Chains A and B, each alone.
Chain A
Amino acid sequence: MWNITRRNLGANKIRLALTALAIVLGVGFITSANVLSDGLRASFGSLAAEIVQGTDLAVSRDDDVPLTQTELDTINNVEGVRIAIGEYNTDNVYPTRADGSAVLPEGPPVIANSWTLDDQLNPTTIETGRAPEGPGEWVVDMGSAEREGFVVGETYDIIVPTTEGLTSAELVGTFRFGENNQTNGATLLAFETNTAKELFDADNFGSVSIATDGSRSIPEVQEDIEASLADGYLVQDNGDLNAETTAEFNSFISVFAWVLRSFAIVALFVSIFIIANTFNIVMSQRVRELGLLRAVGATPKQVRRAVMGEALVVGLVASVIGLGVGVALAYGVEAFLNAIGADLPDFDKPLTLPTAAIGIGVGVVVTALSAWVPSRKAGRIPPVTAISGHDGLDTQVGKRSIVLGAVLAVAGAAFTGVSLFGGIDSTALLLGLLGAGAAILFVGITLLSPLVAAPISRTLGAPIAKVYNRPGVLAKENAARNPKRTATTAAALMIGLSLVSMAFVVGQTLKSDLNELLESTVQADYAAFPGVDGLVPTAVADDMDAAPELDHVVGVKYWSTEVVGSTPLAEGVESDVEVATVDFDRIDEAFDLNLLEGSYADIDDDSLAIRQASAEEMGVGLGDTVAMTLDDGSTADMTVAAIFKDASIFWGVLVTDARWNTVAEQENYDWVAVSAADGVSQADADAAIAAIGDKYPQIVSQSSTEYREEITSQVDNLLYILSGFLGLAILIAFIGIVNTMALSIFERTRELGLLRAVGMTRSQMHRMVRWEAAIVSGVGALLGAAVGIIFGALVVVATPEEILNNLSIPWVSLAVLVAVASLAGLVAGFMPARRAGKLDVLQAIAD
């Protein structure tokens, strides 16, 4: 039988190539995810090693509270310690360029440190100029200096997290980080230690690094340091540090890799449909030959094996090619991610043994799964087929597959339902259930979809039949003639498009909910945000207050702390809520929180306003008391003096500024709401806002429409990225359409010959085939959009009302999506159409 497998492989090259292509792409994508994560891991691993290079030991506290000078002195007194240095570091300091624009961490971070005076502990070396020695001086890494145009000797504004928000300092030197200044795109800057402490607004050390003097072994020194400090301190050696830093990078990289992998899994899942469909069609075209095998004595098992063997060879070869494609794709994904602003460092794209093994394993398993049903069918072909040529396999929609489809659809829906509404806590379990449920549901829908494939084809084809007359009618009827085939071919597209449509529906709902809520809640004309993570200095609010064009300035600060009401909390349930402060005298000038009970005027330092949903969770009402944990660990009893509804800007409790200072150590604002002063024109107010923006380059000031649009466009961007990644599954779906069409053309040789003989021109035949492909695509797109809308609606219902509330379906976008996907079928039909057109009429009718 092996011989037959080999012959068949040789005889059907194009068909094989098309089948293999789906596997190649699927394996390619999963391989690229692994290649990227390996490459990034290696790249960030060497970065981690350089960061901790000279550090023998480091001390921190278990609870991450910064260390003080007292502890530093204790450590310095341990025998064997040459020097222990406390460092200040922050990611809230950004230099501005000569043109006043800020170097912000849009991608790689911007990290500021105190300059380490010890050569061993300092992972950097001065390249030009000198080290910073006092106030008003700074240094930057040489790569960033070149990239951002910083010149030694010049003075620059530096954005700092103090209440002033800005300071100016002279660049006195540049330094090299590690051997090659490989910072992976990060910008590193440093200040003299006391200057850093002041500018970073830091009281204590971010980290303490220790160099030993060599008189004792490092473990001995480590032990003594541990002994000299109280409980709750962590003393790590270089290896621990390296591992910790690497682990931090890795956990980030692995999230990223799993996102990529999940798209690859969708693509592979779609491939299963394509490959199974191809094998199915091929099987029905080869019934005579397979029947002959049976007639001359092959057992059903041997026939099954021959078919399976063919599939496995295809799977193996395609997977190997997929590995190569995966590496190439890794460069593509890198470029794509960089294009959308990820700004990744240069890194290798290694194809490791595990990556290769996973790729080949996945490819072969997927192919084997796909070929399983067709091979069983092939085994059932009766020997008499050799003579009759009739396959004895029903091409019509069987009752059994409908029943099975219904069962699977219900089971899949149940799985999905349990995962969405079952209150499952484990994310992994939830995602697993959701994925499995969706997969089963898709298989069920695919088995059911032949019921509607023909009517949908005819409906979609009706206008085409009108426009193109007979070729159009034939396109329509050809799409409808084998509902099972059309349905399975369209299934892949349905899956891809249903995911995109679902995202569209959820995204649209999110956008419209947010928009509506913000519009009714925020009365202010403008909002000033920190451009990146960080805060708005109080000086900004002061300047706004001072500007005659502006008024109604309300700064907002957020923190999070434990607030416990009367309802006992279940084990392990998070009791932290958001605590915010605003000026209650002015709150009405900027916000309408939809106050339900109580009044802002009643709020004093021992009472608070609480969001309705939070109050319900805690089981408290107006006048009840909650216990709020303060900065020093003690709790304060707070009376509920007001209850509000808002869930767009405030999510927990609101307290007075005095109370705030006992909860959080934050003077600056998270954002500031401001409006034009009464009687001031919008243009004048805009100008005043712009002037403040110029002064504080770290601040982004937006009008109320601007920031609503920005939030909307962020959701849109997310949708585009998602669609981009799902594009691979959609591409594979179109390959499936090309494949099926090519096989159908082959099957209909005789009929096409007849059409040409009685006067169908080549271009009419092209049109007929291409529109058939478009109609099949249309069936997939339409079903996909329908399923996607249902999924999206379910997600909206399952998500708490505060996040997703009023289902909003983007009909226009979905219609465009369906139209574009259908018309893309015209492109998919191009190759099969050309083959049909090239058909030798004489040969076709002579067979």
Chain B
Amino acid sequence: MTLLEPHTSAPTTTIAAYAEGATKIYGSGDTQVTALNKVDVSFPTGEFTAIMGPSGSGKSTLMHSLAGLDRLTSGRVVIGDTDLSVLSEKDLTLLRRTKIGFVFQAFNLIPTLTAAENISLPIDLGKANADMAWIDEVVQAVGLGDRLDHKPNELSGGQQQRVAVARALASRPQVVFADEPTGNLDSQTGAAILDFMKRAVQQYQQTIVMVTHDPVAASYADRVLFLADGRIVDELRQPTTDTILAALRSSSNR
């Protein structure tokens, strides 16, 4: 199987991750903020989901909770068949290392490690033997060539984000979470990153959840979830830029 070969097998119905009654409340009394309000959502394996919504709607909170970076006030998150709410701090960390991949908007890479070392970082942090063939494949796919031995500050912004995506894929995680991965890039460079992510979904049945403000970016996804005031208010399958813009318009009119 190579990246160039299109993925043809039937879509699977297994669930990579889900949240049930996910509620997150910040503060108490007068200053209390309900960032997530009983959200039920599931992410089937091999699906590319985009999450959109106005600022403060709870996108980041939802993503952090799903990714084991933050704990819910009530409700639960399950990654694969692991219930995060019962995990210790250490087990959560190990879960992030093996079952979850991350791409942030910026500062994705450790400046003292080379691009190649950054890619294999989650695996190198563990004792398990790496699937070298897989890593090689991911590294090839990044298309950095001889720049792999360079430190992040010698790479362009687009190259850095590609390395970050490769790092997220390296441990073959259950889910990859990306928080505005193209937010800091020009549209052309951003498109290349989104292509890269989309191919990972199509060819390797990688599950990806991406927060974005950009309807063009969201159009690369298989579906778009719309969040407002801590609730999922809309969902769009096989979106295009136009349908997304329409949905955004209608949700903001509501």
Contact = CB atoms under 8 A, between A and B. Distances in A.
Nearest to B109: A754
A762 B104 CA distance: 21
Contacts of A761: 90, 93-94, 125
Contact of B96 (A469, A751, A757, A764): A757
Given A477-B112, A759-B94, A762-B93, A754 B126 contact: no
A754 to B, nearest CB: 6
A750 B124 CA distance: 20
Interface string A6-25: 00000000000000000000
A759 B69 contact: no
A481 B112 contact: yes
B113 A477 contact: yes
Nearest to B170: A758
B121 interface: yes
Contact of B107 (A470, A478, A750, A758): A750
B64 interface: yes
A756 interface: yes
A474 B117 CA distance: 11
A754 B104 CA distance: 9
A478 to B, nearest CB: 6
Nearest to B68: A757
Contact of B89 (A751, A762, A842): A762
A755 B70 CA distance: 16
Interface string A732-767: 000000000000000000110011111111101000
A841 interface: yes
Contacts of B124: 469-470, 473
Question: Which of B60, B69, B102 has the most chain A CB within a 10 Å cutoff?
Answer: B69
Given A469-B124, A474-B112, A841-B69, A756 B107 contact: no
Nearest to A756: B93
B97 interface: yes
A265 interface: no
A674 to B, nearest CB: 69
Interface residues of B, number: 29
A842 B102 CA distance: 13
Contacts of B246: none
Question: Which of B60, B102, B112, B121 has the most chain A CB within a 10 Å cutoff?
Answer: B112
B221 to A, nearest CB: 22
Interface in A370-387: none
Contacts of A414: none
A761 B68 CA distance: 13
Nearest to A757: B102
B100 to A, nearest CB: 8
B167 interface: yes
Contact of A754 (B60, B90, B107): B107
Interface in A316-345: none
B96 A478 contact: no
Given A842-B64, A842-B70, A758 B121 contact: yes
Question: Which of A469, A755, A758 has the most chain B CB within a 10 Å cutoff?
Answer: A758
Interface in B104-148: 104, 107-113, 117, 121-122, 124-127
A216 B52 CA distance: 113
Interface string B195-224: 000000000000000000000000000000
A769 to B, nearest CB: 13
Contacts of A760: 93, 97, 125
Nearest to A753: B107
B98 interface: yes
Contacts of A750: 107
Interface string A338-364: 000000000000000000000000000
Question: Which of B107, B108, B125, B167 has the most chain A CB within a 10 Å cutoff?
Answer: B125
Nearest to B117: A473
A801 B102 CA distance: 69
A465 to B, nearest CB: 11
A758 B125 contact: yes
Contacts of A764: 125
Contacts of B90: 761-762
Interface string A810-842: 000000000000000000000000000000011
A15 B102 CA distance: 33
A845 interface: yes
A476 to B, nearest CB: 9
A757 B104 CA distance: 10
A756 B98 CA distance: 13
A261 B110 CA distance: 47
Nearest to A750: B107
B89 A759 contact: no
Interface string B37-70: 0000000000000000000000010001001011
Given A477-B112, A754-B107, A841-B69, A759 B117 contact: no
Question: Which of B60, B90, B97 has the most chain A CB within a 10 Å cutoff?
Answer: B97
Nearest to B127: A469
Contacts of B70: 842
Given A473-B117, A841-B69, A751 B93 contact: no
Interface in A755-813: 755-762, 764
B107 A751 contact: yes
B64 A758 contact: no
A473 B125 contact: no
Contacts of B94: 759, 761
Nearest to A755: B110
Given A750-B107, A841-B69, A842-B70, A759 B125 contact: yes
Nearest to A761: B93
Contacts of B89: 762
Interface in A441-488: 469-471, 473-474, 477-478, 480-481
Contact of B98 (A754, A759, A841): A759
Given A473-B117, A481-B112, A761-B125, 7 more contacts: A754-B104, A758-B97, A759-B93, A759-B122, A759-B126, A760-B97, A761-B94
12 contacts: A469-B125, A470-B124, A473-B124, A751-B110, A754-B104, A757-B96, A758-B167, A759-B93, A761-B90, A761-B125, A762-B89, A846-B60
5 closest A-B pairs by beta carbon, nearest first, are A759-B97, A477-B112, A470-B124, A761-B93, A759-B96
